Structure 1
Amino acid sequence: MHARTRIAAVVVAAIGALTVTACGSGSTVVDKPKEHAAAKADNGKDAKKEESAAPEVAEVGDTLTLKGYEDGSRLDVTVVKVADPGKPADEFTEPGSGKRFVGVQFQLVNTGKAVYSDSPSNGAQVADSKGQQFDSTFADITAGPSMSSSLKLKPGAKGLGWVVFEVPKTSKVDTVQFTMNSGFADQTGEWKL
Protein backbone atom coordinates (compact mmCIF):
# COMPACT_ATOMS: atom_id res chain seq x y z
CA MET A 1 0.00 0.00 0.00
CA HIS A 2 2.79 2.43 0.85
CA ALA A 3 4.54 1.68 -2.45
CA ARG A 4 1.42 2.68 -4.41
CA THR A 5 1.10 5.87 -2.40
CA ARG A 6 4.74 6.76 -3.07
CA ILE A 7 4.35 6.03 -6.81
CA ALA A 8 1.20 8.16 -6.96
CA ALA A 9 3.00 11.02 -5.18
CA VAL A 10 5.93 10.81 -7.61
CA VAL A 11 3.57 10.84 -10.61
CA VAL A 12 1.64 13.84 -9.25
CA ALA A 13 4.90 15.70 -8.55
CA ALA A 14 6.20 14.94 -12.06
CA ILE A 15 2.99 16.15 -13.70
CA GLY A 16 3.07 19.29 -11.58
CA ALA A 17 6.67 19.97 -12.55
CA LEU A 18 5.86 19.49 -16.25
CA THR A 19 2.88 21.81 -16.00
CA VAL A 20 4.91 24.55 -14.32
CA THR A 21 7.73 24.13 -16.84
CA ALA A 22 5.45 24.13 -19.88
CA CYS A 23 3.29 27.06 -18.82
CA GLY A 24 5.77 29.32 -17.13
CA SER A 25 9.11 29.11 -18.92
CA GLY A 26 9.92 32.34 -20.71
CA SER A 27 6.52 32.86 -22.34
CA THR A 28 6.02 36.07 -24.27
CA VAL A 29 2.89 37.82 -25.55
CA VAL A 30 3.06 39.07 -29.14
CA ASP A 31 0.62 41.89 -29.89
CA LYS A 32 2.34 44.00 -32.57
CA PRO A 33 0.54 43.44 -35.88
CA LYS A 34 2.48 42.25 -38.89
CA GLU A 35 0.39 44.45 -41.16
CA HIS A 36 -2.72 46.44 -40.32
CA ALA A 37 -5.92 45.81 -42.25
CA ALA A 38 -6.10 49.48 -43.35
CA ALA A 39 -2.66 49.22 -44.99
CA LYS A 40 -3.80 46.12 -46.91
CA ALA A 41 -6.93 47.87 -48.21
CA ASP A 42 -4.91 50.85 -49.48
CA ASN A 43 -3.45 48.88 -52.45
CA GLY A 44 -0.03 50.50 -52.07
CA LYS A 45 -0.98 54.19 -52.17
CA ASP A 46 0.57 56.14 -49.32
CA ALA A 47 1.77 52.87 -47.77
CA LYS A 48 4.23 54.68 -45.48
CA LYS A 49 1.47 56.96 -44.16
CA GLU A 50 -0.82 53.95 -43.53
CA GLU A 51 1.95 51.96 -41.82
CA SER A 52 2.62 54.76 -39.36
CA ALA A 53 -1.11 54.81 -38.54
CA ALA A 54 -1.09 51.11 -37.66
CA PRO A 55 -2.16 50.47 -34.08
CA GLU A 56 0.29 49.60 -31.32
CA VAL A 57 -1.68 46.44 -30.50
CA ALA A 58 -3.29 43.92 -32.80
CA GLU A 59 -7.00 44.20 -33.51
CA VAL A 60 -9.56 42.24 -35.53
CA GLY A 61 -8.16 41.90 -39.05
CA ASP A 62 -4.51 42.00 -37.98
CA THR A 63 -1.97 39.22 -38.45
CA LEU A 64 0.58 38.10 -35.85
CA THR A 65 3.49 35.76 -36.58
CA LEU A 66 3.92 33.10 -33.89
CA LYS A 67 6.54 30.41 -33.38
CA GLY A 68 5.86 26.91 -32.10
CA TYR A 69 8.21 24.95 -29.89
CA GLU A 70 9.54 22.77 -32.74
CA ASP A 71 12.25 24.05 -35.11
CA GLY A 72 10.69 25.41 -38.29
CA SER A 73 7.21 25.70 -36.74
CA ARG A 74 5.64 29.10 -37.46
CA LEU A 75 2.16 30.46 -38.23
CA ASP A 76 0.73 33.75 -39.42
CA VAL A 77 -2.45 34.01 -37.33
CA THR A 78 -5.25 36.44 -38.18
CA VAL A 79 -8.40 37.16 -36.17
CA VAL A 80 -10.80 37.56 -39.08
CA LYS A 81 -14.17 38.17 -37.40
CA VAL A 82 -15.92 38.11 -34.02
CA ALA A 83 -19.52 36.98 -33.39
CA ASP A 84 -20.74 38.28 -30.03
CA PRO A 85 -23.14 36.84 -29.22
CA GLY A 86 -22.74 33.71 -31.31
CA LYS A 87 -26.06 32.03 -32.17
CA PRO A 88 -26.05 28.23 -31.60
CA ALA A 89 -26.11 26.27 -34.87
CA ASP A 90 -28.74 23.82 -33.60
CA GLU A 91 -31.46 23.53 -30.96
CA PHE A 92 -29.47 20.98 -28.94
CA THR A 93 -26.47 23.19 -28.15
CA GLU A 94 -27.16 26.10 -25.82
CA PRO A 95 -24.87 28.08 -23.51
CA GLY A 96 -25.33 27.49 -19.77
CA SER A 97 -27.71 29.56 -17.70
CA GLY A 98 -26.55 33.20 -17.53
CA LYS A 99 -23.97 32.65 -20.30
CA ARG A 100 -23.59 33.35 -24.02
CA PHE A 101 -21.44 32.04 -26.86
CA VAL A 102 -18.73 34.25 -28.38
CA GLY A 103 -17.16 33.10 -31.64
CA VAL A 104 -13.79 34.16 -33.03
CA GLN A 105 -12.85 33.26 -36.61
CA PHE A 106 -9.14 32.51 -36.99
CA GLN A 107 -7.12 32.11 -40.17
CA LEU A 108 -3.91 30.13 -39.72
CA VAL A 109 -1.25 30.15 -42.46
CA ASN A 110 1.73 27.82 -42.07
CA THR A 111 4.73 30.07 -42.83
CA GLY A 112 7.21 27.64 -41.31
CA LYS A 113 9.17 24.70 -42.69
CA ALA A 114 7.50 21.99 -40.59
CA VAL A 115 4.00 20.55 -40.84
CA TYR A 116 1.61 22.17 -38.34
CA SER A 117 -0.52 19.52 -36.63
CA ASP A 118 -2.64 20.60 -33.67
CA SER A 119 -6.07 21.24 -32.22
CA PRO A 120 -6.08 25.05 -32.49
CA SER A 121 -9.01 25.59 -30.12
CA ASN A 122 -6.92 24.14 -27.27
CA GLY A 123 -4.57 27.13 -27.53
CA ALA A 124 -7.25 29.85 -27.68
CA GLN A 125 -8.90 31.83 -24.91
CA VAL A 126 -10.72 35.11 -24.41
CA ALA A 127 -10.51 37.53 -21.50
CA ASP A 128 -13.07 40.05 -20.33
CA SER A 129 -12.48 43.61 -19.17
CA LYS A 130 -12.11 42.37 -15.55
CA GLY A 131 -9.30 39.98 -16.52
CA GLN A 132 -11.34 36.76 -16.27
CA GLN A 133 -10.19 34.24 -18.88
CA PHE A 134 -12.34 31.68 -20.66
CA ASP A 135 -11.22 28.60 -22.61
CA SER A 136 -12.87 27.39 -25.80
CA THR A 137 -15.88 25.09 -25.71
CA PHE A 138 -17.26 22.48 -28.08
CA ALA A 139 -20.09 24.26 -29.88
CA ASP A 140 -21.03 25.26 -33.41
CA ILE A 141 -22.49 28.67 -34.21
CA THR A 142 -24.42 29.92 -37.23
CA ALA A 143 -21.60 32.33 -38.22
CA GLY A 144 -19.78 29.52 -40.04
CA PRO A 145 -17.84 26.26 -39.78
CA SER A 146 -15.81 25.53 -36.66
CA MET A 147 -12.03 25.23 -36.78
CA SER A 148 -10.96 21.62 -37.26
CA SER A 149 -10.12 19.83 -34.02
CA SER A 150 -7.25 18.01 -35.76
CA LEU A 151 -5.80 20.55 -38.18
CA LYS A 152 -2.81 19.52 -40.30
CA LEU A 153 -1.19 22.16 -42.52
CA LYS A 154 1.82 21.61 -44.75
CA PRO A 155 4.10 24.62 -45.28
CA GLY A 156 2.19 27.28 -47.22
CA ALA A 157 -1.25 25.83 -46.44
CA LYS A 158 -3.96 27.65 -44.50
CA GLY A 159 -6.90 26.82 -42.27
CA LEU A 160 -9.96 28.93 -41.48
CA GLY A 161 -12.62 28.36 -38.85
CA TRP A 162 -14.51 29.55 -35.78
CA VAL A 163 -13.48 28.88 -32.19
CA VAL A 164 -16.33 29.25 -29.70
CA PHE A 165 -16.15 30.40 -26.07
CA GLU A 166 -18.82 30.33 -23.37
CA VAL A 167 -18.76 33.51 -21.26
CA PRO A 168 -21.10 35.16 -18.72
CA LYS A 169 -23.77 37.37 -20.34
CA THR A 170 -22.52 40.33 -18.27
CA SER A 171 -18.85 40.00 -19.33
CA LYS A 172 -17.43 42.48 -21.84
CA VAL A 173 -14.99 40.43 -23.93
CA ASP A 174 -11.81 42.50 -24.27
CA THR A 175 -9.06 40.33 -25.81
CA VAL A 176 -8.49 36.98 -27.50
CA GLN A 177 -5.25 35.00 -27.29
CA PHE A 178 -3.85 32.18 -29.41
CA THR A 179 -0.85 29.97 -28.61
CA MET A 180 0.49 27.18 -30.84
CA ASN A 181 1.05 23.61 -29.63
CA SER A 182 -2.29 23.44 -27.78
CA GLY A 183 -1.27 26.40 -25.65
CA PHE A 184 2.22 25.20 -24.70
CA ALA A 185 4.41 27.20 -27.11
CA ASP A 186 6.44 30.12 -25.72
CA GLN A 187 4.75 32.82 -27.84
CA THR A 188 1.14 33.87 -27.37
CA GLY A 189 -0.62 36.19 -29.79
CA GLU A 190 -3.09 38.71 -28.36
CA TRP A 191 -5.70 40.81 -30.15
CA LYS A 192 -7.81 43.63 -28.72
CA LEU A 193 -11.50 43.10 -29.52
Structure 2
Amino acid sequence: MKHQLTPAAAALLAAVLVCGGAGAATAVQPSSAIPSSPSGAESEKKCPPENDDKDGKDDEDGEERGLDLGDSANLDDLEDQVRMTVVDVVDPATPEDEFSAPAAGNRLVSVQFCVENTGGGFFEDYFLDTQIIDEEGQQFDVAYFFYSDAGPHFPDAIRVSPGEAALGFISYEVPKGSEIDKVSYLMPYGLGGGDDQAEWDISEEEQRDASEERDPPVELDLARP
Protein backbone atom coordinates (compact mmCIF):
# COMPACT_ATOMS: atom_id res chain seq x y z
CA MET A 1 0.00 0.00 0.00
CA LYS A 2 1.11 3.55 -0.65
CA HIS A 3 2.22 5.28 2.56
CA GLN A 4 1.88 8.96 3.35
CA LEU A 5 5.32 10.18 4.41
CA THR A 6 5.82 12.62 7.22
CA PRO A 7 7.91 15.74 6.42
CA ALA A 8 10.82 14.24 8.38
CA ALA A 9 10.64 10.97 6.51
CA ALA A 10 10.35 12.80 3.19
CA ALA A 11 13.44 14.83 4.01
CA LEU A 12 15.29 11.66 4.94
CA LEU A 13 14.31 10.00 1.68
CA ALA A 14 15.44 13.05 -0.29
CA ALA A 15 18.80 12.89 1.44
CA VAL A 16 19.08 9.21 0.56
CA LEU A 17 18.34 9.88 -3.11
CA VAL A 18 20.87 12.70 -3.26
CA CYS A 19 23.65 11.09 -1.26
CA GLY A 20 23.11 7.50 -2.28
CA GLY A 21 23.78 4.59 0.06
CA ALA A 22 27.32 3.31 -0.11
CA GLY A 23 27.22 -0.36 0.70
CA ALA A 24 23.41 -0.46 0.44
CA ALA A 25 21.65 -3.66 -0.60
CA THR A 26 18.83 -3.95 -3.13
CA ALA A 27 15.75 -4.44 -1.01
CA VAL A 28 12.94 -5.44 -3.37
CA GLN A 29 14.26 -8.67 -4.86
CA PRO A 30 13.74 -12.05 -3.19
CA SER A 31 16.87 -13.39 -1.55
CA SER A 32 17.64 -17.08 -1.17
CA ALA A 33 20.83 -16.99 0.86
CA ILE A 34 22.77 -14.71 3.14
CA PRO A 35 26.21 -13.60 1.93
CA SER A 36 29.25 -15.09 3.60
CA SER A 37 30.15 -13.75 7.01
CA PRO A 38 33.12 -11.36 7.36
CA SER A 39 35.30 -14.33 8.31
CA GLY A 40 34.53 -15.92 4.96
CA ALA A 41 32.62 -18.86 6.45
CA GLU A 42 29.69 -19.83 4.26
CA SER A 43 26.27 -19.36 5.87
CA GLU A 44 23.37 -21.79 5.51
CA LYS A 45 20.75 -19.27 6.62
CA LYS A 46 18.09 -18.23 4.14
CA CYS A 47 15.71 -15.33 3.53
CA PRO A 48 12.90 -16.05 4.00
CA PRO A 49 13.98 -18.62 6.58
CA GLU A 50 12.64 -22.16 6.63
CA ASN A 51 11.22 -21.94 10.15
CA ASP A 52 7.50 -22.37 9.60
CA ASP A 53 6.83 -24.18 12.89
CA LYS A 54 3.91 -22.12 14.19
CA ASP A 55 3.49 -24.38 17.24
CA GLY A 56 6.92 -23.62 18.66
CA LYS A 57 5.79 -20.90 21.03
CA ASP A 58 6.35 -22.93 24.22
CA ASP A 59 9.59 -24.41 25.50
CA GLU A 60 10.06 -27.94 26.81
CA ASP A 61 8.59 -26.99 30.21
CA GLY A 62 5.44 -25.57 28.65
CA GLU A 63 6.45 -22.01 29.49
CA GLU A 64 5.89 -19.30 26.90
CA ARG A 65 9.18 -18.17 25.36
CA GLY A 66 10.06 -15.02 23.53
CA LEU A 67 11.76 -14.58 20.20
CA ASP A 68 15.39 -15.58 19.92
CA LEU A 69 17.97 -14.85 17.26
CA GLY A 70 16.80 -16.57 14.06
CA ASP A 71 13.11 -16.72 15.02
CA SER A 72 10.35 -15.15 12.91
CA ALA A 73 7.26 -13.14 13.84
CA ASN A 74 4.20 -12.54 11.67
CA LEU A 75 3.20 -8.90 12.12
CA ASP A 76 0.13 -6.94 11.05
CA ASP A 77 -0.65 -3.24 11.53
CA LEU A 78 -3.91 -3.02 9.51
CA GLU A 79 -2.00 -1.56 6.55
CA ASP A 80 0.64 -4.24 5.96
CA GLN A 81 1.55 -7.80 6.84
CA VAL A 82 5.15 -8.97 7.13
CA ARG A 83 7.12 -11.91 8.44
CA MET A 84 10.10 -10.41 10.25
CA THR A 85 13.22 -12.35 11.24
CA VAL A 86 16.36 -11.21 13.06
CA VAL A 87 18.92 -13.34 11.25
CA ASP A 88 22.32 -12.32 12.59
CA VAL A 89 24.14 -9.89 14.89
CA VAL A 90 27.69 -8.59 14.47
CA ASP A 91 28.94 -6.92 17.66
CA PRO A 92 31.18 -5.05 17.41
CA ALA A 93 31.02 -4.33 13.69
CA THR A 94 33.88 -2.72 11.78
CA PRO A 95 32.95 0.55 10.01
CA GLU A 96 32.99 0.24 6.23
CA ASP A 97 34.78 3.58 5.83
CA GLU A 98 35.80 6.69 7.75
CA PHE A 99 32.35 8.22 7.27
CA SER A 100 30.78 5.34 9.22
CA ALA A 101 33.17 5.52 12.16
CA PRO A 102 31.32 5.94 15.49
CA ALA A 103 32.14 8.73 17.92
CA ALA A 104 34.93 8.22 20.45
CA GLY A 105 33.79 5.81 23.14
CA ASN A 106 31.12 4.22 20.93
CA ARG A 107 30.95 1.14 18.72
CA LEU A 108 28.79 -0.12 15.86
CA VAL A 109 26.41 -3.05 16.23
CA SER A 110 25.00 -4.45 12.97
CA VAL A 111 21.78 -6.48 12.97
CA GLN A 112 20.64 -8.47 9.93
CA PHE A 113 16.91 -8.57 9.18
CA CYS A 114 14.89 -10.63 6.74
CA VAL A 115 11.66 -8.83 5.79
CA GLU A 116 9.12 -10.97 3.93
CA ASN A 117 6.06 -9.14 2.59
CA THR A 118 3.09 -11.43 3.24
CA GLY A 119 0.48 -8.77 2.43
CA GLY A 120 -1.15 -7.69 -0.80
CA GLY A 121 0.53 -4.32 -1.34
CA PHE A 122 4.02 -2.86 -1.40
CA PHE A 123 5.64 -2.69 2.03
CA GLU A 124 7.68 0.45 2.78
CA ASP A 125 9.71 1.10 5.89
CA TYR A 126 12.30 3.60 7.08
CA PHE A 127 13.04 1.67 10.30
CA LEU A 128 12.24 4.78 12.33
CA ASP A 129 10.87 2.63 15.17
CA THR A 130 13.56 -0.04 15.33
CA GLN A 131 15.87 0.06 18.33
CA ILE A 132 18.38 -2.09 20.13
CA ILE A 133 18.15 -2.16 23.91
CA ASP A 134 20.91 -2.76 26.42
CA GLU A 135 20.68 -4.55 29.76
CA GLU A 136 19.98 -1.26 31.54
CA GLY A 137 16.98 -0.55 29.31
CA GLN A 138 18.65 2.19 27.26
CA GLN A 139 17.37 2.29 23.68
CA PHE A 140 19.45 3.18 20.63
CA ASP A 141 18.02 4.19 17.24
CA VAL A 142 19.30 3.26 13.81
CA ALA A 143 22.54 5.02 12.83
CA TYR A 144 21.48 6.27 9.40
CA PHE A 145 24.20 6.41 6.71
CA PHE A 146 26.49 4.28 8.89
CA TYR A 147 27.62 1.06 7.20
CA SER A 148 29.81 -1.80 8.41
CA ASP A 149 31.66 -4.69 6.81
CA ALA A 150 29.19 -7.17 8.34
CA GLY A 151 27.54 -7.54 4.93
CA PRO A 152 25.19 -5.71 2.54
CA HIS A 153 23.12 -3.10 4.35
CA PHE A 154 19.55 -2.05 3.72
CA PRO A 155 19.08 1.31 2.06
CA ASP A 156 17.76 3.85 4.53
CA ALA A 157 14.28 3.00 3.22
CA ILE A 158 13.08 -0.28 1.74
CA ARG A 159 10.17 -1.11 -0.56
CA VAL A 160 9.31 -4.79 -0.84
CA SER A 161 6.87 -6.23 -3.39
CA PRO A 162 4.10 -8.62 -2.29
CA GLY A 163 5.41 -12.15 -1.89
CA GLU A 164 9.04 -11.06 -1.97
CA ALA A 165 11.67 -10.83 0.77
CA ALA A 166 14.46 -8.39 1.53
CA LEU A 167 17.66 -9.15 3.42
CA GLY A 168 20.07 -6.62 4.86
CA PHE A 169 21.95 -5.27 7.84
CA ILE A 170 21.08 -2.18 9.88
CA SER A 171 23.74 -0.57 12.08
CA TYR A 172 23.38 1.11 15.45
CA GLU A 173 25.84 3.27 17.38
CA VAL A 174 26.08 2.38 21.07
CA PRO A 175 28.52 3.07 23.93
CA LYS A 176 31.37 0.59 24.17
CA GLY A 177 30.34 -0.35 27.69
CA SER A 178 26.71 -1.17 26.86
CA GLU A 179 25.77 -4.86 26.89
CA ILE A 180 23.18 -5.31 24.17
CA ASP A 181 20.19 -7.38 25.22
CA LYS A 182 17.32 -7.03 22.72
CA VAL A 183 16.27 -5.63 19.37
CA SER A 184 12.77 -4.18 19.04
CA TYR A 185 10.79 -3.66 15.83
CA LEU A 186 7.53 -1.74 15.40
CA MET A 187 5.53 -1.69 12.14
CA PRO A 188 5.41 1.68 10.31
CA TYR A 189 1.75 2.26 11.25
CA GLY A 190 2.09 0.40 14.54
CA LEU A 191 0.46 1.69 17.69
CA GLY A 192 2.33 -0.60 20.05
CA GLY A 193 -0.12 -3.49 20.08
CA GLY A 194 0.83 -7.12 20.46
CA ASP A 195 0.39 -7.84 16.76
CA ASP A 196 2.40 -5.00 15.26
CA GLN A 197 5.63 -5.16 17.25
CA ALA A 198 8.14 -7.81 18.25
CA GLU A 199 11.26 -8.10 20.37
CA TRP A 200 14.16 -10.52 20.01
CA ASP A 201 16.81 -11.62 22.51
CA ILE A 202 20.19 -10.79 20.93
CA SER A 203 22.28 -10.91 24.11
CA GLU A 204 25.82 -12.26 24.01
CA GLU A 205 24.57 -15.55 25.48
CA GLU A 206 21.94 -15.86 22.74
CA GLN A 207 24.50 -15.05 20.07
CA ARG A 208 26.70 -17.86 21.40
CA ASP A 209 23.76 -20.24 21.43
CA ALA A 210 22.88 -19.32 17.86
CA SER A 211 26.37 -20.22 16.71
CA GLU A 212 26.05 -23.72 18.20
CA GLU A 213 23.80 -26.58 17.19
CA ARG A 214 20.33 -26.13 18.67
CA ASP A 215 16.67 -26.79 17.93
CA PRO A 216 15.28 -25.20 14.75
CA PRO A 217 14.02 -21.61 15.14
CA VAL A 218 10.33 -21.09 15.81
CA GLU A 219 7.76 -18.76 14.32
CA LEU A 220 5.35 -16.80 16.49
CA ASP A 221 2.10 -15.87 14.74
CA LEU A 222 1.29 -12.37 16.07
CA ALA A 223 -0.93 -11.32 13.16
CA ARG A 224 -4.66 -10.86 13.36
CA PRO A 225 -6.75 -13.82 12.08
Q: Same fold (TM over 0.5)?
A: yes
CA distance in 2, matches of 1:49, 1:99: 37
CA distance in 2, matches of 1:189, 1:169: 25
CA distance in 1, matches of 2:140, 2:132: 5
CA distance in 1, matches of 2:171, 2:76: 23
Q: CA deviation at 1:123?
A: 2.5
Residues 1-20 of structure 1 correspond to what in structure 2 (within 5 A)?
A: none
Q: CA deviation at 1:155?
A: 1.3
Q: CA deviation at 1:146?
A: 1.1
Q: CA deviation at 1:117?
A: 1.6
Q: Matched residue of 2:137: which SS?
A: coil
CA distance in 2, matches of 1:172, 1:102: 11
Give the structure, 1 or 2, with the largest relative contact order (CA under 8 Å, sep 6 or more).
2
Choose from 117, 120, 126 the match for 1:113.
Answer: 120
Corresponding position of 2:29: none
CA contact (8 A) 1:66 1:77 kept: yes
CA distance in 2, matches of 1:91, 1:179: 30
Q: CA deviation at 1:152?
A: 1.3
Choose from 159, 169, 178 the match for 1:171.
Answer: 178
Residues 65-84 of structure 1 correspond to what in structure 2 (within 5 A)?
A: 65-70=74-79, 73-84=80-91
Return 145-154 or 157-166, whichever deviates more: 145-154
Q: CA deviation at 1:108?
A: 0.2
Q: CA deviation at 1:148?
A: 2.1
CA deviation vs aligned residue, 1:128-152 (integer Å, no higher than 9, x gap): 0000000010210001111122311
The answer to which structure has the higher helix fraction is 1
CA distance in 2, matches of 1:50, 1:104: 23
Letter of the 2:84 counterpart: V
1:96 and 2:103 matched: yes
Corresponding position of 1:162: 169
CA deviation vs aligned residue, 1:17-70 (integer Å, no higher than 9, x gap): xxxxxxxxxxxxxxxxxxxx9xx68xx9xxx89975497011110001111241
CA contact (8 A) 2:112 2:170 kept: yes
Q: Matched residue of 1:159: which SS?
A: strand
Letter of the 2:180 counterpart: V
Q: How large is the RMSD of aligned CA atoms in angstroms?
A: 2.9
Q: TM-score, normalised by structure 2?
A: 0.59
1:57 and 2:63 matched: no
Corresponding position of 2:31: none
CA distance in 2, matches of 1:67, 1:131: 26
CA contact (8 A) 1:65 1:75 kept: yes
* Unaligned 5+ runs, structure 1: 1-36
Q: CA deviation at 1:91?
A: 2.7
Q: CA separation of 1:50/1:134 partners in 2, compared to 1, >3 Å: closer, same or farther?
A: closer
The alignment covers a number of residue pairs equal to: 149
How high is the sequence identity, in percent, across the aligned residues?
34
Q: Matched residue of 2:128: which SS?
A: helix
Choose from 131, 134, 137 the match for 1:128.
Answer: 134
Q: Matched residue of 1:92: which SS?
A: helix
